[in-house]
């Protein structure tokens, strides 16, 4: 796991919201799983709304950078992540989509707390309920963190029913 600069970690503990914002911006320039965990915690717990809003934007930026680094290139296929959602015809109802997103939020929370077994359980439920999550780079990014796998492996693992 990539070690974060200790100055960034210290700045995140500062009483000054502007110092914490600088640290959040620095985290937003990495592709580290550790940075994502810090950003998720900041988003949930920082007392300053501006810092929390910046943390969510930085987290999205990190996810985009991570997705872009997962480009697959071969002779017949070039894929890359964009900020636009892919057009996917879905037979999944809006209620089921929301349920799956709620499960992925729980997976992220458990991941931030370090309970990867629970996080995997929630992610697995979410992908089983709504397989279309595999087309959303944000949720695929969470799946990568939870499963500690690259995007294709994580999605395949989450879409495969567990063996009894």
Domain ranges of the chain: 6-72, 94-159
Which residues, 6 or more positions from 120, have their beta carbon under 8 angstroms from its beta carbon? 107, 146, 147
pTM for the whole structure: 0.50
Residue-wise pLDDT tens for the chain (164 aa)?
457 788 998 999 999 999 999 999 889 888 888 888 899 889 999 999 999 999 988 888 888 777 766 554 444 443 444 434 444 445 778 889 889 989 998 888 787 777 889 999 999 999 999 999 988 877 888 888 788 888 888 899 999 877 65
- CA 93 to mean position of chain CA atoms: 23
* pLDDT given at position 20: 95
| Domain with residues 6-72, CATH architecture | Alpha Horseshoe (1.25)
């Amino acid at each position: 796991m990539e070690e974060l600069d200790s100055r960034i970690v210290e700045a995140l503990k500062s009483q000054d919201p502007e110092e914490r914002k600088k640290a959040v911006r620095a985290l937003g320039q990495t592709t580290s799983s550790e940075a994502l965990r810090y950003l998720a915690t900041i988003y949930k717990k920082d007392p300053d709304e501006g810092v929390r809003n910046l943390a969510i934007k930085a987290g999205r930026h990190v996810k985009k950078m991570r997705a872009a680094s997962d480009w697959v290139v071969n002779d017949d296929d070039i894929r890359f992540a964009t900020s636009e959602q892919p057009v996917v015809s879905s037979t999944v109802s809006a209620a089921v989509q929301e349920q799956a997103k709620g499960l992925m939020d729980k997976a992220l929370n458990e991941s931030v707390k370090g309970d990867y077994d629970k996080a995997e359980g929630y992610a697995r439920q979410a992908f089983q309920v709504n397989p279309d999550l595999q087309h959303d780079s944000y949720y695929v990014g969470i799946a990568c963190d939870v499963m500690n796998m690259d995007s294709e492996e994580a999605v395949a693992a989450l879409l495969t029913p567990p063996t009894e």
